[in-house]
Every structure is written in C-alpha cells, then in structure tokens.
Amino acid sequence: MVPSVMTMKLSTTSSANRLAQIPPETANFEEIWTFLKASVDCIMSNPKAVLTYANYINLYTVIDNYCTSTNASVGIGDTGANLVGSELYHKMTEYFTIYFASMKQTVVSLQEEELLRYYASEWHRYTTGANYLDHIFASFNRHWVKLQRDEGKKEIYPVYTLCLAQWKSQLFLFIQTDNQKLAKAVLRLIERHRNGEMIDQRLVRNMVLSFVSLGLDNTDLNKECLEMYNEYIEAPFIQDKEQSYKKESEAFLAENKVSDYLKKVEERLREEDRVEIYLHTKTHKEMIQKCEEVLIRQCAQPMWDSFQKLLDFDQDEDLQRMYALLSRISGGLDPLRKRFEVHVKQAGLSAISKLVGEGSAVDVDPKIYVDALLEVHQKNSETVARCFQGEVGFAAILDKACEGFVNRNAATGSSSTRSPELLAKHADMLLRKINKMAEGDLESALNRVMVLFKYLEDKDAFQTFYTTKLSKRLIQGVSASDESEASMVSKLKEACGFEYTKKIQRMFTEISLSKDLTDSFKDQNHDDTGITFTVMVLGTNFWPLHPPTHGFTIPVEIIPTYEGFTKYYQSKHSGRKLTWLWNYSTNELRTNYLNQKYILMTSAYQMAVLVQYNRNDTLSLDELSAATAISKDILSQVLALLVKAKILVNEEKDQYDLNPGFKSKKIRVNLNQRIKAEVKAESSDVLKAVDEDRKYVIRAAIVRIMKANRTMKNQALIQEVISQVSQRFVPKIPDIKKAVEALLEQEYIERVDGQRDTFAYVA
C-alpha cells in the first residue's frame, strides 16, 4: 500500500539511501526494529536528506507487513482484530528518550536569545523529521493507532503527534522547569521589540508556533489546543501589559489633559496590532480587550467629565476620538448620550430665550423662530453625523432633545399649539407669491419645515393652522405655485398618512371645480354691469372658513351679479344652501374721480365703504355703519386702513371724507390688509376647531379600542388611547376621562357590574 499524498522529497542520491537491507517477511520484531531504527536515525539526524522512491517503498512495506502480521504474539485488541503494534510504539517511545539526552545537556548552558536560536533550530529539524516519519508510518497510524484510540486509549498518538508529545515531555518541560526560562526569554525578546529595538521577528514567531503546536487535546488531535501557549506566553504577556498600562494611564492623566490622553490611548491601540506579527491571532483580541478595560473603562470617568467642555468648544476631533474609544466598552456611551441630550435641549431653549428677549412671545417672527430652532438642530445633527458616526443612540437622543425644546420654550409658554402655529405661519410665508425663492431653494426650505414638523407633539394643531392658511392662499390666489403646494402636501402625506391630508387634497379639487363653475356661469349669463365676477363654492366639511358674526349689506352695485349667480347655482343644485363669506371676499375697484385712474384692491368691507362715496363726498361713522351694516368696532378698523392709505381723510372725529388729492406711485394699490379683529378671531377659531376635533378623535379611539377588546380596565384604556392618539397630539388624561363619560351617557360603553374601574363595549 502506498499513500496517495507524498510530501517527502525523493531522490536517487543521498546518505539516507544507504539503509540496511530490508528484512524478510519471516523476520522477528528485533530484526524489524533494527532495520527501522537505522532509517529513523537517518531521518531524525538529517531530515534534509532525501530517500529514493525504492527505499521509501521498502520502509512503508516493512511497517505495513508488521502491522498486518499474524505471527505477532502481542498487541491483539480486545475486538480480536489481527493487528499488532504495541511493541513498535514502545520502541519509538524509548528511542525518543535517548534521542533527547544530548540536547538536554546542551540547553542547560544556554541563555536568552542563544537558547531560543538553538531551540528553534532543533525544533525545525525535529518536526521536519517527524513529518517524514508520519508518512512512513502511515499504515501504522491507520491500523494499530486508530484501533487503540477507538477503544478509548487517548494517550496513544499517531507518530507525528507522538513526536510532539515526546518533545514536550522530554525537552520542553525540562527547560521550562528551570524558572520558565524558555518562555521568559521569548517574552523579553517581545518586550525589546515593543520598546523599539530591532529583533529577529521570525525567531519569535517560530518559538510561538512551537508553544502552540505542543498543546495537545487528547480527545481531538485535529483541534487546535492553546493550553501551553496560554499558560506560558499569553497569560504572563497580558498580565505584564495590564500592569504596565495601568501605571502609564494613571501617570499620564495626572499630568495631561483628557484630550491628550485620548490621543495616547488611540496610539496604544494601534500599536497593539503589532501583536499579530509574532503572537497568536487570539492574543490580539485578548490584548485589545485588556487595553479597553485598563485604558478606557477604568479611566472612563475623566472622559465623561470632559465631554461637556468638548461640546461647548466644538472640539470635533476629540469628540470623535472619545466616541470611538468609549464605544468599545459596554455602557461607555450612556453617560455621553445623557449629557448630549441636556446640551442640545439647553441650546434650543437658550436660542429661543435670546430671540424672545425682553419682548413678548406673542410678537415672535415665525421665520426667525423657525430658523433659530433649525440652526440648533442642524448644528447638533452634524455633530451626531461627524463625531458620533450617526450612531442610532445619539440620533434618538437628538430627536428626544429637539422634541423637548421645539414644543416647550420661551416663545410657546404653556401653550402646546404655539409651535405648530408658528411653523404653519412660516410655511404659509414660504408658499406665498411674495416669497421670491427659486424653486430649488423653496423645496429645500419646505424640507427644513418638515424637519421641525416631525418633532411636533400636536400635529393636529399644525394641520388646522396649515389648512386655515392654505384656504387663504387658495381663495386669494397668492400661492407661489401649484407644484410647491402639491410638494408640501406630499411631504405631509408621507409623514402622517392619507387621512392627514385628505381634506387638504379635497380643497384643491374644489378650487378646480369652482373655476369650471365660474366659466359655465359666465357662458350662460352675459353681465352688462361691467363687473368681472369669479366665485368659489367651497364645502363646509373641508374648508376651515367661518361666516362673519356681524351683518353686511350687499352694495347695490353687485346685487345683480349676486342674485344672478344664486339663481344659477340653485338651478343646478337644488336643495343646497349657499352661505356667502363676505369676510373672505376680495375686490378690485377702478377710480373715476381722479385725473390718474387707479385700481384699488380691497376687502369686501372696504369695497362696501368706498362705493358709498359714489353718491357722497363725506360720511360719518354712523352713516357708514347704517349703510353697510358693519359693526362699528370692525368698521373703525376698516376705516383706519383707508385713512392710513390716504384714500379717505379723517380731519374731524367720526367724519370721513373722500381724498380728491390721492396720489400713488403704483397704479394697482393694495388696500386689503387684515385687521386685528380678524387675526385674533382666526387664531381663536383655530384653537376651538382643534379642541373640538380632539374630542371626536379621542372618542373614536375609545370606541375602536373597546370594540376590539370588549372589556378593559380604566387605566389600560387610558394608556391605549394615549398610545394610539399620540401620533396626532398628546391627549390630556382629563380629556380622555371626559370622553369616557360622554360615551357612557351615549351608551357606546358601560361599566361592568361590581367592577367600577372596568368598562365593557355595548354592541
């Protein structure tokens, strides 16, 4: 039998070829061993020597014949298999005992690097020879050794492993017994290299490989066993470095800044990559873990304490180092995250406090307010990305902190709807024609609005304020562009879902339908009055519009048009009621009393006042109030705007004259400015609408939850309502309790008998 894989060198000339004559098949064990011993001597004394193919076959055949001999009187296994080998195994063991005798005498007098060089040289020669022997004894390994190990005799080894075991017991442990001088010599050589000296790295590497090879796992010889390496090399090496680093870190921190210490630790960790040059790969991981424990965990407190200072002075490089180092240890980043949350929140609150200053929070400019919030967010968002690698924990902390100062700050006071209102006003200004931003810049600005939008707790309040502002833009025709409006709606829909924008999208649909309705009316009604008329018919369910709370007398100049459209609409939609919203109407009047003809853009109330001067040059407040039916408090504010624009003159108390000397650089003069009463009423109406909508949202959530669960305890119901509703707004517990009471009265739910805090759904 010949092995299929050959790693031995075969040649026709070598001293190793001059072997004794092959014994006959009838030879006894002593004759066989004499022949084999001569070959073993040649191979182990000079493994560089080569065998001829014929001699290799002869050696292999002799061992194979011996292993399968039926004449051997010993070594028969309990299974009865006709295999022998114990005598040969015993002789090989005796051989190595003698083999190492001279080597022991030599190593006694050797020290340090000289010892290592001798040891490494002999180790190389020995393992090379052992490898050759293992091939020659392949049949012996497959037969007798395998049988013994299968029967549980794990101290019996294949020939190569036997050679390692003999080296370990005969030479290695002999040297190590002398104050572990072999391992210590290796460690001292490594230390010299770590101190910057030039050493023979290959020598160290070979020595380490020998320690690794001598670790034998009797249960699984193919498994790497690092017992010897761990005990004599890795454990003392790591222990020494641990003590060294501990002293170094304490001394360095006592005399240097934390920022310098961070650089030092970073440098030390990079240096530990050298471990893989000469030690086992496993040691690199162990060493890094020990460095992290000693240099980072045990010195984490000074790092945590200096974190705030690094943030305050924007020391990004040091923040990056600190994050990278503390992220290596469990829980190392937790104190940083807590401090970062406080830092961001305080930055946001301070920015708004400076903005409000000594003034009133009511007068805060929406753009300046939004820009201040965004500046804090952007700066700290960049810090998270740049210094903390966008780590999820820091990103979540940033969001939490921003949510805190966006919803509650010096400008909001105790109102939870103030931030949504200011953000909606800012979005309104962006989307108006007066904003001259380029399309790309406008899109970017809208994206920035959405950054803050996601932090709003009361998104329903933003929705109501935004819808109110949108209705004004659409009615007045002052939107920057349909594309920008659609883009903003798309962003809101993506953030909050279809239901959130359903009414908004319906508003755009009705504007389009109103254009068609106006065109159809004009086609069928030819107006000879010279009035150009455009109407918007808007559904009360979708538009946040409210009719005026005071009377209004329709000017005679537009009554024909008013009556004509009313008749036309009712003919097309019988049963529907039209409510005219004069407080939202806009008009254009052409002047005829001046040399220069102007076009005055007015509100319906201003128009009603001015047309009175078609028949009069001067009118009193009482006369105007009687003619228009507008309440005096509203009318006074309307007249104040006309006087300010110098259309009317108010030289006597409550007396208003038409100004014949009016002049303007513009042909089209915009007089349509909102009066304070309208602004105040709008804000009040929005808040009322928000509160009313919330009542229905909470009730709907309760009914939905109870229908799914049938019965629930009061506390569990409250928590579930908060969980479901908080995506739109943060509900107050008293409001939830009121909703529960209302549903009890309406018999949607009932109390469970004997369990006052438990409710049941009424099918």
Does residue 647 form part of some domain? yes
CATH number at residue 648: 3.30.230.130
Instruction: Give the start-end residues of each E strand in 228-341.
Output: none
Among 298, 315, 337, the domain-final residue is 298
Same domain, 21 and 126: yes
- Orientation of helix 86-99 relative to helix 101-108, angle to 10°: 30
CA distance 607 to 125: 113
How do strand 711-713 and strand 655-658 relate by DSSP bridges? unpaired
pLDDT in tens, 95-152: 999 999 999 999 999 999 999 999 999 999 999 999 999 999 998 998 889 989 988 8
Same domain, 66 and 139: yes
pLDDT in tens, 284-316: 999 999 999 999 999 999 999 999 999 999 999
Query: Which residue, chain included where needed, has tokens 């010993």?
Result: 74
User: Has residue 5 got a pLDDT over 70?
Assistant: no
Does residue 537 form part of some domain? no
Among 620, 655, 673, the domain-final residue is 673
Same domain, 117 and 58: yes
CA distance 44 to 413: 92
Residue 222 pLDDT: 85
Residue 9 pLDDT: 44
Does residue 658 form part of some domain? yes
Same domain, 708 and 647: no
CATH number at residue 744: 1.10.10.10
Its pTM stands at: 0.78
Tally of CB atoms within 10 A around 725: 20
Share of residues in the chain with pLDDT > 90 (%): 64
| Number of domains the chain is built from | 4
Does residue 80 form part of some domain? yes
Same domain, 697 and 757: yes
Does residue 162 form part of some domain? yes
For residue 693, give its domain range: 679-761
Does residue 69 form part of some domain? yes
Same domain, 695 and 616: no
Same domain, 716 and 666: no
Same domain, 152 and 31: yes
How confident is residue 367, by pLDDT bands cut at 50, 70 and 90?
A: very high
How many CA atoms lie within 13 Å of 759's alpha carbon, on the beta-carbon side? Answer: 25
Same domain, 140 and 278: no
Among 178, 200, 223, the domain-final residue is 178
How confident is residue 325, by pLDDT bands cut at 50, 70 and 90?
A: very high
User: Has residue 360 got a pLDDT over 70?
Assistant: no
Q: Which two tokens stand for residue 268?
A: 């030390």
Same domain, 144 and 291: no
**749-752, strands of its sheet edge to edge:** 711-713, 755-761, 749-752
Same domain, 753 and 659: no
Angle 331-335-337 from CA coordinates, rounded to 5°: 100
Does residue 744 form part of some domain? yes
Asked if residue 582 lies in contact with residue 548, where contact means CB atoms within 8 angstroms, the answer is yes
How confident is residue 273, by pLDDT bands cut at 50, 70 and 90?
A: confident
Sign of the dihedral through C-alpha 423, 426, 432, 438: negative
Of residues 273 and 392, more confidently modeled? 392
Same domain, 636 and 697: no
CATH number at residue 273: 1.20.1310.10
Asked if residue 455 lies in contact with residue 402, where contact means CB atoms within 8 angstroms, the answer is yes
Does residue 412 form part of some domain? no
What amino acid occupies position 510? E
